[in-house]
Amino acid sequence: MTQTRAVAAIDLGATSGRVVVGRVGDGVLETETVARFANDPVRLGDGLHWDVTGLYAAVLRGLREAFRAEPRLASIGVDSWAVDYGLLREGQLLGVPFHYRDERTARGVVAVERTIGRADLFARNGLQFLPFTTAHQLAAEPPGVLALADTLLLMPDLLAFWLTGIRRAELTNASTTGLLDARTRTWDDGLVSAIGVPRTLLPALISPGERIGDLLPHVRAAVGGSAPVVAVGSHDTASAVVAVPMHADAAAYISCGTWGLVGVEVAQPVLSPEVSAANVTNEGGVDGRVRLLHNVMGLWILTETIRGWSRRGEDADLGALLAAAAEVPASAVPVFDVDDARFLTPGDMPARIDAWCDEHGLASPKTRPAYVRAIIESLAQAFADAVSTTSRLGRVDVRTVHLVGGGALNELLCQRTADRTGMPVVAGPVEATALGNVLVQARAAGMISGALEELRDLVARTHTLRRYEPR
């Protein structure tokens, strides 16, 4: 029997982060969250930013707790949200990294499309149009800023650099930048040059499972231990999909948190005009797989709605509101387009829902439970549409939908997704991203072996899943 050993997963989401100890062995896959912390954006005079140094300080505190729990950690892995980056010069951060929801991205879209049209861009990078991809953000940088920098690091790569002193770009996250060739999975030098990005900014690429480096001496002193940092699927969705307990030829996945990432897994990118027209994206997965998916606005709309009510001092208990929403007939609320650009930035979501309904000749919700029900119905419909589209374009015979992440706890959303897709929805695991991070590290350390299918089988054998049948 293989001895159980432990790794540490740093899992950073767009609203919160955590450090998780994962214990893996023969038939064993357990996680323990040893630190949890908020990831709140900061609005400065020039826009919306991430408090990245505060986030890093929280990571160090979390790693200290991880080493207290498991002094002999085999490795450490970092995953986070995609597209955002820090610019460095001689190892020093040049300014506070922007948040992808900052309004500056609009001028980046204009700048990129002066150089290359959306269809041509898709033919090279395989990505759906999103105004906040790294390419668009870089095009929005003020003149001269890129010339000052010598390195660009995406958020998980930036934290790995601060931990190890090694600059690398992990492939799954690099695939979201818009600067990677979808076919060769290397930096597209011609595209990089056309957008006006110095090629020297982009580090060497590294694959999940490869060793990045050892902790720096001052980091070892701060966290009270030593372990190598290993590349994982550093885009959090790439890690989450590793832990989806599915059979690739019969399932779609929904990684549901702040965003809802809905799609299928395929062996090669699908770069047809139909994929581009459907605004479906090809993103890199672990083991060279491709995540053919659509980005749905996700639970962001619901959480921002709850946040707004709370700020105004109104009763905004999520559990109570969901229970009340379940009593509102689905036929009594509008289904709106959750992917409408108006819902991207922070603000008054109910007012934006009202505006959308007014523009489309629909009656707006009248009560807070009705707003919640409208959001749930609209998300479920968007999920169903994305499952249908990606399965058709990827030629995957989908018979089951797996919903992982925080959304797996939302019973109403899971049931309505089953109802609207007409397929069973298997909910869980909730902690899929951290599990995927842990599994890639564990395989790299020799604790387990096998292809993704074997890793997913271990998830299915060790975690309780809930099945929702369509009604």
Co-location of 296 and 413 in the same domain: yes
Query: Which pLDDT score, from 0 to 100, does residue 315 have?
Result: 81
Across the range 72-95, mean pLDDT stands at: 97
Residue 465 lies in a domain: no
Rg (alpha carbons) of the chain, rounded to whole number: 21
255-297 pLDDT, tens digit each: 999 999 999 999 999 999 999 999 999 999 999 999 999 999 9
State both tokens at 171: 């492939």
158-187 pLDDT, tens digit each: 999 999 999 999 999 999 999 999 999 999
Report the C-alpha gap between 211 and 305 in whole angstroms.
41
Identify the H or E element spanning 146: helix 145-148
- φ and ψ at residue 236, rounded to 5 degrees: -60, -30
- φ and ψ at residue 440, rounded to 5 degrees: -65, -40
Report the C-alpha gap between 256 and 297 in whole angstroms.
10
Total domains present in the chain:
2
DSSP string, 272-306: -HHHHHTT-EEEE-GGG-EEEEEEE-TTHHHHHHH
**Average pLDDT, rounded, for the chain:** 96
Q: How far is CA 272 from the centre of its chain?
A: 24
Query: Which pLDDT score, from 0 to 100, does residue 2 have?
Result: 56
Among residues 147, 251, 249, which one has the least CA distance to residue 200? Answer: 147
Co-location of 277 and 146 in the same domain: no
Co-location of 214 and 291 in the same domain: no
Inter-residue contact 365 to 333 (CB < 8 Å):
yes
The pairing of beta strand 41-44 with beta strand 211-214: unpaired
Q: Return the sign of the alpha-carbon dihedral for residues 260, 263, 264, 270.
A: negative
Report the C-alpha gap between 187 and 463 in whole angstroms.
38
State both tokens at 302: 């619901």
Co-location of 260 and 167 in the same domain: no
Q: Inform me whether the pLDDT recorded for 1 exceeds 60.
A: no
299-341 pLDDT, tens digit each: 999 999 999 999 999 888 999 999 999 999 999 999 999 999 9
Query: Which pLDDT score, from 0 to 100, does residue 397 have?
Result: 94
- pLDDT tier for residue 425 given thresholds of 50, 70 and 90: very high
Residue 72 lies in a domain: yes
Co-location of 188 and 253 in the same domain: no
Query: Which pLDDT score, from 0 to 100, does residue 465 have?
Result: 96
**Own/partner pairs for 223-228, CB < 8 Å, 24+ apart?**
223/60, 223/63, 223/64, 223/66, 223/67, 224/64, 224/67, 224/68, 225/63, 225/66, 225/67, 225/71, 225/73, 227/7, 227/8, 227/73, 227/74, 227/75, 227/76, 228/75, 228/76
Residue 240 lies in a domain: no
Residue 28 lies in a domain: yes
Q: Inform me whether the pLDDT recorded for 358 exceeds 60.
A: yes
b vs e for 317-349, b when ≥16 Cβ sit within 10 Å of the residue's Cβ? eeeebbebbbebeeeebbebebbeeebbeeeeb
26-42 pLDDT, tens digit each: 999 999 999 999 999 99
CATH of the domain at 149: 3.30.420.40
Query: Which pLDDT score, from 0 to 100, does residue 3 have?
Result: 81
Which residues are catalytic, by number?
A: 236
Co-location of 146 and 255 in the same domain: no
Give the domain range for residue 404: 246-428
Co-location of 193 and 136 in the same domain: yes
185-195 pLDDT, tens digit each: 999 999 999 99
Report the C-alpha gap between 433 and 240 in whole angstroms.
4
Across the range 361-367, mean pLDDT stands at: 97
With a pLDDT cut of 70, the percent of the chain lying above it is 99
Co-location of 278 and 344 in the same domain: yes
Co-location of 262 and 214 in the same domain: no
Token pair 């929904």 in the structure block, residue = 254
Across the range 239-259, mean pLDDT stands at: 91
Q: End-to-end CA distance of the chain, in Å? A: 44
The residue out of 406, 428, 450 marking a domain boundary is 428
Residue 45 lies in a domain: yes
Residue 174 lies in a domain: yes
Co-location of 226 and 266 in the same domain: no
Co-location of 183 and 260 in the same domain: no
**What ranges in 165-197 are assigned the alpha helix state H?**
171-174, 189-195
Those residues whose C-beta lies under 8 Å from the C-beta of residue 120, and which sit 6 or more positions away, are none
Query: Which pLDDT score, from 0 to 100, does residue 316 have?
Result: 86
Co-location of 252 and 192 in the same domain: no
Q: Up-side HSE of residue 385: CA atoms within 13 Å toward CB?
A: 18
Residue 439 lies in a domain: no
Query: Which pLDDT score, from 0 to 100, does residue 418 have?
Result: 98
In a 10 Å sphere around its CB, with 0-12 CB exposed, 13-18 middle and 19+ buried, how is residue 444 labelled?
buried
State both tokens at 315: 């009763």
- pLDDT tier for residue 248 given thresholds of 50, 70 and 90: low
Cis preceding linkage at 369, omega within 30: no
Inter-residue contact 391 to 262 (CB < 8 Å):
no
Residue 456 lies in a domain: no
